[in-house]
Amino acid sequence: MFNFFLLILIYSGIYALMALGQNIITGYGGMLSLTQAGFFAIGSYATAILTTRFGWSFWGTLPVAFLLSALFGLLIGLPTLRLKGDYLAIATLGFGEIVRNVLNNWDSLTNGPMGIQKIPMPILFGYTINPYKKYAFLIMIFIFVLIAYLLFQRLARSRMGRALTAVREDEIAAQAMGINITKYKVYAFILGASVAGIAGSLQATFTLSVTPGTYTFMVSVMVLCMVVLGGMGNFKASILGAFIIQLISYFPQLTGLSGSIPAQFQQILFGLILVVMMIWRPQGILGRETRRYGGAAGNGKGGAQ
Amino acid sequence: MILLETEALTRAYGGVIAVNKVDFSVEGGLITGLIGPNGAGKTTLFNNITGLDTPSSGKVLFNQKDITGFPAHTICRMGIARTFQNIRLFKELTVVENVMIGRHFKTGKSETKGRFFNAINSYIRLKAEEEQIYERASDWLDFFDMGSMKNELAKNLPYGRQRELEIARALATDPKLLFLDEPAAGMNPQETDHLMATIRKIRDLGITIVLIEHDMKLVMNICDTITVLNYGQKLAQGTPRQIKHDPSVIEAYLGKEEE
């Protein structure tokens, strides 16, 4: 039981990374993107293929997962960012499906629907971080989440965060104020993608096997739910949202009722939560983070993580 | 000295010619008025000059440099700022943040040179930079007597203040040329008087102003020179006195007198 709770925490951490990325894209940039599953998959397979085929260590594959997702973020971002709202959502949703289908069918590289097994465990200074003994793994995941959180938080409080917010609020006015809106939208997209790649890498080394079936459209929707539930434009809220959604999705198993509650129940619950949130608290649990400026001293404080 | 000039600027949307071969010029240091009946193409002309729209043909020259078809952010960086007819503030940001956005491109320039050194000291530099932006933004808010409203959300300001905030935000980019699109729209007479005083104060800072306005009292009072547009074409150009007595202008506004 307690072990199971640790598992939920680990998954919360992995999803929190994706949610942080989604928050910079959707919460700050205001772009409704549904690509996270695609980048998640790219990160996972980068680690899986490099460790099993080429004998790389997990740590060596991390930067590859990061850069590869960032590259795809750039490639997807450039053409699709002309679109807005629902149209962007549809276009980016297509990307996730393309990635999954490629993984499913490129047998020689990805082993198709069978997936890749026997991914080695990460070793740090001679100590094996064994996913079956969850503590060490949990600590590792949360170090990643913490680093990502601090970086994103600082970014959001810099001129870039302000520029992105301006782009979200009014693109035309932002342009007229000298902000290169395409540049900032693509930046946000690349950042969001690359952190999802890292999450994918961690997922691969945690489950020790990857199959295309993991990276469905539902993953992107779940990540988006996390951001909306927690509160858009607030990185703490994204992490909180990730935890709550994970808790809900494992609710039947956690209460030992998985026999009597059908698996579809969690999707009903997601929907219900979102409807209730939209009625009573559309800004999310924590709401958007606003900065106060009170003289130079207060301003300086805002800059420190 | 001519600061800005358009040469036969034309913007057609399909068969509709919104701006038709307009030669518009702005003298440095003066306040230029742009008037005309609704749908005359005034805002379209603004949009084509400031890069939010691309002319179908013709040229825009700023300081004798051809800037036709440049993207809006580049034109802003060159020193042309603007406000909008229907207020376009960043509503969910605070008052001071709105103005700070105007300072955005003034900082971070060194990103391209000396990257390595900046990677080391960037945190200190960023902090100093943020403080600098904040100080400059505060100065502009004080100019508009809005210092006490810094942390209000822009959407919560009264209407007249929102218009002023938009001007403050535009001024924060340190423009040489400021375009105001109907700054007095929706203002009561007191607010309009206050606005006139403000516009004069801005001119005294050495900033050239072009404004679109329907309030004739304001236009005739503060403009040094006026250009009249009608059906996308330039009808007249001259001092307020000349414009007031120009028969073609009177006809455009009031219709032709019956014989």
Q: What is the mean pLDDT of residues A148-152?
A: 92
Q: For residue A284, what pLDDT is reported?
A: 83
Spatial distance between the Cα atoms of A92 and B66, rounded to a whole number of angstroms: 38
- Across chain B, mean pLDDT equals 88
- Residue B4 in contact with residue B62, Cβ under 8 Å? yes
Which residues of chain B does A166 touch, with a Cβ-Cβ cutoff of 8 Å?
Answer: 90, 93, 101, 104
Q: Where are the domains of chain B?
A: 1-79+175-259, 92-171
Residue B53 has what DSSP assignment?
S
Helix ranges restricted to H, chain A: 2-22, 36-54, 58-80, 85-105, 107-110, 134-156, 159-169, 171-176, 181-207, 217-230, 235-249, 251-254, 265-280, 295-303
Q: Does the structural domain B1-79+175-259 have CATH classification 3.40.50.300? A: yes
* A150-154, A198-202, A295-299: the lowest-pLDDT one: A295-299
pLDDT band at A304 (very low <50, low <70, confident <90, very high): very low
- Across chain A, mean pLDDT equals 86
Q: What is the mean pLDDT of residues A221-246?
A: 91
Q: Do B76 and A163 touch (CB under 8 A)?
A: no
Q: How far out from the chain centre does Cα A81 lie?
A: 19
Nearest CB among B52, B97, B123 relative to A176 is that of B52
Nearest C-alpha of chain B: how many angstroms from A162?
7
Which residues of chain A does B134 touch, with a Cβ-Cβ cutoff of 8 Å?
Answer: 293, 296, 299
Nearest CB among B76, B91, B94 relative to A177 is that of B76
Best residue in A150, A158, A159 to probe B by mutation, most B CBs within 10 Å? A159
Q: For residue B89, what pLDDT is reported?
A: 93
Per-run averaged pLDDT (10 residues), chain B, 259 residues: 91 91 92 90 92 92 91 92 92 90 74 50 72 89 90 89 92 93 89 92 94 90 92 90 88 75
Q: Do A179 and B73 touch (CB under 8 A)?
A: yes
- Structure tokens that stand for B187 in this block: 């203002």
Nearest C-alpha of chain A: how many angstroms from B182?
16
Q: Do A302 and B131 touch (CB under 8 A)?
A: no
Q: For residue B166, what pLDDT is reported?
A: 93
Q: For residue A297, what pLDDT is reported?
A: 38
Q: For residue B122, what pLDDT is reported?
A: 63
Q: How far is CA B185 from CA A3, A86, B182, in A?
A: 65, 34, 5
pTM of the predicted structure, to 2 decimals: 0.85
φ/ψ of B128, rounded to 5, equals -60, -40
- Residue B154 in contact with residue B95, Cβ under 8 Å? yes
Residue-wise pLDDT for B38-51, tens only, equals 888 999 999 999 99
Domains, in order of start, for chain A: 2-303 (1.10.3470)
Instruction: Report chain B residues touching chain A, CB-CB < 8 A.
Output: 50-52, 71-73, 76-77, 81-82, 84, 88-94, 96-97, 100-102, 104-105, 107-108, 123, 126-127, 129-131, 133-135, 150-151, 153, 169-170, 173
Q: What is the mean pLDDT of residues A157-172?
A: 88
- Residue A137 in contact with residue A130, Cβ under 8 Å? yes
- The b-or-e profile of A135-145 (16+ CB within 10 A means b, else e) is ebbbebbbebb
Query: Closest Cα partner for B197 from B222, B216, B214?
Result: B222
Higher pLDDT, residue B122 or A16: A16
- For B248, half-sphere exposure in the C-beta direction (CA atoms, 13 angstrom radius) is 13
Q: Do B151 and A170 touch (CB under 8 A)?
A: no
The dihedral sign for the CA sequence A57, A58, A60, A61: positive
Spatial distance between the Cα atoms of B68 and B55, rounded to a whole number of angstroms: 7
Which residues of chain A does B125 touch, with a Cβ-Cβ cutoff of 8 Å?
Answer: none
